[in-house]
Amino acid sequence: MLVFENDYSFGAHPKVLEELCKTNMAAASGYGSDGFTASAMEKIRKAIDCPDAQICFLTGGTQTNQVVIDCLLKPYEGVISCVTGHVNGHEAGAIEHSGHKVLALPHHEGKLRAEDIRQYIDGFYGEEAFEHMVFPGMVYISHPTEYGTLYSKQELEELRAVCDQYHIPLYMDGARLAYGLMSERTDVTLQDIARLTDVFYIGGTKCGALCGEALVFTKRNMPDHFLARIKQKGALLAKGRLNAVQFDALFTDNLYEEVGAHAIRMAALLKKAFADKGYPFHMDSPTNQQFVILTDEQMQRIAHHAVFSRWEKLPDGRTVVRFATSWATTKEDIRALSEIL
Amino acid sequence: MLVFENDYSFGAHPKVLEELCKTNMAAASGYGSDGFTASAMEKIRKAIDCPDAQICFLTGGTQTNQVVIDCLLKPYEGVISCVTGHVNGHEAGAIEHSGHKVLALPHHEGKLRAEDIRQYIDGFYGEEAFEHMVFPGMVYISHPTEYGTLYSKQELEELRAVCDQYHIPLYMDGARLAYGLMSERTDVTLQDIARLTDVFYIGGTKCGALCGEALVFTKRNMPDHFLARIKQKGALLAKGRLNAVQFDALFTDNLYEEVGAHAIRMAALLKKAFADKGYPFHMDSPTNQQFVILTDEQMQRIAHHAVFSRWEKLPDGRTVVRFATSWATTKEDIRALSEIL
Amino acid sequence: MLVFENDYSFGAHPKVLEELCKTNMAAASGYGSDGFTASAMEKIRKAIDCPDAQICFLTGGTQTNQVVIDCLLKPYEGVISCVTGHVNGHEAGAIEHSGHKVLALPHHEGKLRAEDIRQYIDGFYGEEAFEHMVFPGMVYISHPTEYGTLYSKQELEELRAVCDQYHIPLYMDGARLAYGLMSERTDVTLQDIARLTDVFYIGGTKCGALCGEALVFTKRNMPDHFLARIKQKGALLAKGRLNAVQFDALFTDNLYEEVGAHAIRMAALLKKAFADKGYPFHMDSPTNQQFVILTDEQMQRIAHHAVFSRWEKLPDGRTVVRFATSWATTKEDIRALSEIL
Amino acid sequence: MLVFENDYSFGAHPKVLEELCKTNMAAASGYGSDGFTASAMEKIRKAIDCPDAQICFLTGGTQTNQVVIDCLLKPYEGVISCVTGHVNGHEAGAIEHSGHKVLALPHHEGKLRAEDIRQYIDGFYGEEAFEHMVFPGMVYISHPTEYGTLYSKQELEELRAVCDQYHIPLYMDGARLAYGLMSERTDVTLQDIARLTDVFYIGGTKCGALCGEALVFTKRNMPDHFLARIKQKGALLAKGRLNAVQFDALFTDNLYEEVGAHAIRMAALLKKAFADKGYPFHMDSPTNQQFVILTDEQMQRIAHHAVFSRWEKLPDGRTVVRFATSWATTKEDIRALSEIL
């Protein structure tokens, strides 16, 4: 069976696993106070060109979103996200569970527009009774988005400007950041992201690690006693080394870029395979997630040979499905898929 | 200055105040275990024709909404409301503060449609990954709505049917219920409401009391140890008599109806006053809140003589404003307003 | 039946009720933006000799404790209270419900000792792993305490010193403050309290009002957007006038002092009545709550004629009971009780 | 440097790591719906002799405690723990953060006594105003305890009886369960634990895994939509295989027992080494944590050669320190330590 279900179907990238094996018998103290953690942090600081960055390793994406948003928002504030944002629809209400409203604005191919935010916040403060409403306290974006699309540098600068205007932080969910960085159609670098956001995370789980996300505060803005808050949310690993060693590997010899670049190349081949056979796309994604529109007949036929994800039903009865590539996808996989199509 | 700012600008209806005075020196035990509470409950049970109803007096509307929604929802559930619902926009995030998402659906003149709910819930359970989403666990409606509009009996029955289909409770916010019940354009009675909802509240604060809302569970469905939960939320009054005595008065000799009927009569006169002068209305409200569209010039002129609320700015620069009547509004008030117009 | 059950058995002090009646037909805008609120605040600021005080009226004691503690603590902090503190045992877990641990220290006749606090906090910061523990973030005291006892000015100054040392606020729950201020055995004034605490509340519900507590921030330390936070907790009254008018009355012509002084006089008579008959006391209370030890036989006999509260069972089978006086207690009540004894 | 700091200083037991390597390139669907998870669950069900057990893999101990306690308690309930319980003191308030009070009872060598619980609950329901208090809703124990001590089967049966009497669940935190099971001084088996508790977890992180705890509901009592609740708390791993593969290894060929037995053997040698040199023990621990009392001079000397944890300062100035063994401790480590002593 060919596996395109998602980018977390396999274990760890072999080099990540190798590092876990190599370091296994070295002693390390707990809760992130170890040398592996220090080393991984230093490599990330260099990669993002932000020597002052404060970094913390967490275990998963929803956990990271919940921790960041709850810790940076004041209790009377909500987070602005586009309606398709992961925090708005696919985290089982984790944000509301921690007491905050997601203020959902329209999406444009999965992206939030600076102008929509400006209009929303202006409208908010234009209300007589705004103290009876939820204050907009932060902007959440994902990059790549839930539809695989990417912000341009220009768009990020506009988001930065609107956040500066209202003095609220800009947070980027980089669960799939490797694929965004290595897309052929991006002008956004890791350094740009560190410069333009207040906080972002570099996804590990979906980019070659067994688990782990590297949360980066770029403006000396890590909340007070952040360790205590992470502990309080059940998000502190005793063996902090687990996440750290993996990120140390991912940020050695450009492995993180390699993981992204490989998946992007495979996605390009996959895209071509579908396009060559005349399959329509739901959205023009420049990253490792490709959204194809299938008839029921096509869907059933392909499902005999390949695993993929059903995304949404279209009004005409066809279905949007997602094919995802990763470090583990091979040319043979694509070739075999191509034959099925 | 003429006061049409809202329906809670004055103290209590004189008969309510009189009852507070009359009972002042009678001893009563605390926290709702007193005779006034028992008496008021019994009168409400009769008025709604639901001998089994479980009743509890709370102090304000947002508090009541927060208590009901948090206590009836399971932690992984959210509440369906139309986007204009009070819980969605004007309670400073009280619902999210208690851990639950408001699942906002479109409004139709301030009302939620059964068909929209059905489609939403079907869509939810149609998702492969619905356990990663917020479960729809309750339907919230306000009656009258935030725009003064009313559900018909037919519409309530449709909402009931959709709630039965998915086994979720129907909750009605009756902050201004007196005005809904006494509208000339309603076919919904208090008994219908008790029959068709699982839980609702009879508004006191905006219908002649100094404070107080009577929360009614109609299907023997009051949550376990509800007193403890109210206490835990800081919503339990030591002098439970305060709310009870007021509701006892409101449900004696049809005072609650009288309060509503008077305001409705005044609203009809007010509406006529505006209509006679050719002022356009934003929505055709059959209750005590009237939404009129004013130019800046009109707004400024009227503001010299009368207090009203600014609602929203229209794209053409004009403003929707609200004039509200209450038990305290007099014919003289309307006449004076008419002259200003 | 004689009523000594508690100090909230009757309605409002007649002068409070009179003020509610007198102001009933005056229009007031909502949510505390009215003139009654401004007037009551000003009178309180004068009474406490703290022209900068920021004041807010809430409805009940548990609500006030929950709002203050949750709003002043950081999420990783808990509140220090003695084990007998109201927040620790009798608020159905309201503090934990808002996310904070009550750090319970031993009590000394219902009081917290500065030295115990110092030792606790020193111990906390002496731990290697204190970031895995709950940070001590605030000191909570009640005055009078749950046992009717009072802090001396010296004791309050010591508490102030320990709070200054660790930079944490001192909060006083004054649910029964009138009785504390007017006790013959106190050297603490309202001005002392304003000076020595960071925040405190002046109890209304148990001191002559139908409801209401005046929350006072004495050091320009009211939390940001406090109105929004109160709203979010369901604690904001639409008719803010209700609490304000009552406090306006209580702080006119020394009514608050009169309420306290009368109850204290009645408590002295009551104490004498018990003492004269040789009844033992559980604690030597200088305020309006008197804790007497009764045998079962005595308890049953008195219960035929008077209502009082059972407090705790002693190991020897006898019971500690509480007799409370208030503005509504009369000399005749005491005389009648005396005859029963 | 010799490492006795804790039982999570090293990576994974070599056989656990080997299994991660072996399975790395097998595809697995996400969120625990994979074959590794099914296999690990089945092996655990057999090991605990509870074919109906419902199992879920989580990542860490505090997370597991928070999830279980919040999901099993009703909102008005608290959890009974002894004062030294991990949830009471060392989880940064994770339980209170999720809204529940820890009801702390005295400890007896780190253990909770059935009789203390009975007395506490009887006292609770004996109160007139118990609805103003936090309901006791669950019993939490750790086994081994925070002091390395163990419950006997008799003691667990007594705890079971008191939980049955009051219809509340018994929850065992088995962070270090392997060491408890393999102690030479225990009569408690894994099957006993499954039979006598309602829910417990089998610790992985501190017993040979890189991360992971196996949460077991033994009475068909897993909460509704538990996956959604775990997701909502940020505790759901995308690569559920990570925890599952490790537990699959731990429950193959008795590896979990081997991990425990080895550490116990090493602890016995370590204990002997200290005893031979006349060092006093703080508590007589039958498991892998040994609590020794050191003078400052001894502490400094040993610290030059070995890492251990400082536990608490004694009034006489000496310090209780903890030496922990694990699967990674060798006889050479002990011999070298012995020479230092």
Tokens 């709702």, located at residue: B32
Instruction: Count CB atoms within 10 A of the CB of residue A133.
Output: 22
Helix H or strand E segment including C306: strand C306-307
- State what percent of residues in chain B have pLDDT above 90: 98
Residue of A33, A76, A97, A227 to mutate when probing chain C, most C C-beta within 10 A: A76
CA distance B159 to C252: 53
Res C128: pLDDT: 86
Residue closest to A300 by CA, chosen among A252, A340, A247, A267: A340
Pull the structure tokens for residue B25. 């020196």
Question: Which chains, if any, share at least 3 CB pairs under 8 A with chain B?
Answer: A, C, D
Average pLDDT value for residue range B245-263? 98
Q: How many CB pairs under 8 A join A and D?
A: 158
Residue of B31, B96, B130, B225 to mutate when probing chain D, most D C-beta within 10 A: B225
Find residues 123-142 of chain B whose CB sits inside 8 Å of chain D: 131-132, 135
Residue of B211, B225, B227, B329 to mutate when probing chain C, most C C-beta within 10 A: B211
D5-61 pLDDT, tens digit each: 999 999 999 999 999 999 999 999 999 999 999 999 999 999 999 999 999 999 999
**Residue C238: pLDDT above 90?**
yes
- Tell me if chain A has a CB within 8 Å of the CB of C275: no
Q: Are D168 and D139 in contact (CB under 8 A)?
A: yes
Res A51: pLDDT: 97
CA distance D74 to D109: 30
- Tell me if chain D has a CB within 8 Å of the CB of C75: yes
B56-91 pLDDT, tens digit each: 999 999 999 999 999 999 999 999 999 999 999 999
Average pLDDT value for residue range D244-256? 98
Handedness of CA B73, B75, B77, B82 (dihedral sign): positive
Interchain CB distance below 8 Å, D225 and B76: yes
Res D94: pLDDT: 98
Q: Give chain A positions within 8 Å (CB) of B126.
A: 313
Least confident of B155-164, B246-255, D236-245, D309-318: D309-318
Helix H or strand E segment including C193: helix C190-196
* Mean pLDDT taken over chain B: 97
- Tell me if chain A has a CB within 8 Å of the CB of B35: no
CA distance A230 to A217: 15
A17-27 pLDDT, tens digit each: 999 999 999 99
Q: Are B77 and B135 in contact (CB under 8 A)?
A: yes
Nearest CA in chain A to B100: A96
Percent of chain D that is helix, strand, coil (3-state, to 5): 45, 20, 40
CA distance B166 to C116: 56
Q: Residue D122, Cα to own-chain centre: how many angstroms?
A: 29
Residue in A30, A211, A231 closest to D239 by CB:
A211
Q: Find the helix packing angle between A255-276 and A331-340, rounded to 10°.
A: 20
Interchain CB distance below 8 Å, A310 and B128: yes
Nearest CA in chain B to D30: B129
Instruction: Count CB atoms within 10 A of the CB of residue A245.
Output: 30
Residue of B4, B8, B333 to mutate when probing chain C, most C C-beta within 10 A: B8
Interchain CB distance below 8 Å, C67 and B234: yes
Q: Are A280 and A76 in contact (CB under 8 A)?
A: no
Q: Give chain B positions within 8 Å (CB) of C231.
A: 62, 91-92, 94
**Residue B147: pLDDT above 90?**
yes
Q: Give chain D positions within 8 Å (CB) of C75.
A: 97
User: What phi, psi does A295 have (nearest 5°)?
Assistant: -80, 165
Q: Is the peptide bond before D315 cis (omega within 30 degrees of 0)?
A: no
**A265–chain B nearest CA distance, Å:** 28
**D339–chain A nearest CA distance, Å:** 21
C77-96 pLDDT, tens digit each: 999 999 999 999 999 999 99
Res B128: pLDDT: 85
Q: Which amino acid is at B149?
A: T
Residue in B24, B92, B229 closest to C17 by CB:
B24
Average pLDDT value for residue range B204-212? 98
Q: CA dist C72 to B10, C223, C229, Å?
A: 33, 7, 11
**Residue A12: pLDDT above 90?**
yes
CA distance C305 to C289: 19
Q: Give chain C positions within 8 Å (CB) of B23.
A: 11
- Tell me if chain A has a CB within 8 Å of the CB of C297: no
Handedness of CA A79, A80, A85, A88 (dihedral sign): positive
C129-145 pLDDT, tens digit each: 999 999 999 999 999 99
Pairing state of beta strands B77-82 and B135-142? parallel
Pairing state of beta strands A213-217 and A199-203? antiparallel
Residue of C100, C225, C230, C237 to mutate when probing chain A, most A C-beta within 10 A: C225
Find residues 220-259 of chain C whose CB sits inside 8 Å of chain B: 228-229, 231-239, 241-242
Residue in A74, A132, A229 closest to C76 by CB:
A229
Q: CA dist C223 to A57, C220, C226, C229, D74, Å?
A: 32, 9, 5, 9, 31
Residue in C92, C101, C134 closest to D132 by CB:
C92
- Tell me if chain A has a CB within 8 Å of the CB of C316: no
Q: Give chain B positions within 8 Å (CB) of A97.
A: 75, 99
Residue of A8, A70, A96 to mutate when probing chain B, most B C-beta within 10 A: A96
Q: Give chain A positions within 8 Å (CB) of B309.
A: 128
Question: Which chains, if any, share at least 3 CB pairs under 8 A with chain A?
Answer: B, C, D
Interchain CB distance below 8 Å, B232 and C20: no
Residues C132-156: b if buried by 16+ CB within 10 A, e if exposed: bbbbbbbbbbbbbbbbbbbbeeebb
Average pLDDT value for residue range C265-279? 97
Res B145: pLDDT: 97
Find residues 195-224 of chain C whose CB sits inside 8 Å of chain B: 205-206, 210-211
Res A13: pLDDT: 98
Q: Give chain D positions within 8 Å (CB) of C99.
A: 93, 96-97, 99
SS (H, E, C) D230-270: HHHCCCCCCCCHHHHHHHHHHCCCCHHHHHHHHHHHHHHHH
Res A128: pLDDT: 85
pTM over 0.90: yes
Pull the structure tokens for residue B83. 């986007």
A66-115 pLDDT, tens digit each: 999 999 999 999 999 999 999 999 999 999 999 999 999 999 999 999 99
Res C326: pLDDT: 98
Residue closest to D115 by CA, chosen among D184, D165, D169, D40: D165
Tokens 């001396």, located at residue: C152
Nearest CA in chain C to D92: C133
CA distance D334 to D264: 13
Find residues 54-73 of chain A whose CB sits inside 8 Å of chain C: 70-71
Residue in B71, B76, B232 closest to D228 by CB:
B76
3-state SS assignment for residue B136: strand
Interchain CB distance below 8 Å, D96 and C96: yes
Residue of B23, B25, B63, B215 to mutate when probing chain C, most C C-beta within 10 A: B63
Interchain CB distance below 8 Å, C128 and D310: yes
- Return left, alpha or beta for C216; rule: phi > 0 is left, psi -120 to 50 is alpha, else beta: beta
Alpha-carbon Rg of chain A, whole angstroms? 20
Q: Give chain C positions within 8 Å (CB) of A232.
A: 75-76
Q: Give chain C positions within 8 Å (CB) of A70.
A: 75
Burial of residue A115 (number of CB atoms within 10 Å: 0-12, 13-18, 19+): exposed
Interchain CB distance below 8 Å, C132 and A231: yes
Q: Are A211 and A39 in contact (CB under 8 A)?
A: no
CA distance C75 to D21: 40
Q: Give chain D positions within 8 Å (CB) of B224.
A: 74, 76
- Tell me if chain D has a CB within 8 Å of the CB of A325: no
Q: Give chain B positions within 8 Å (CB) of A133.
A: 89-90, 92-93
**A317–chain C nearest CA distance, Å:** 43
Q: Which amino acid is at D48?
A: I
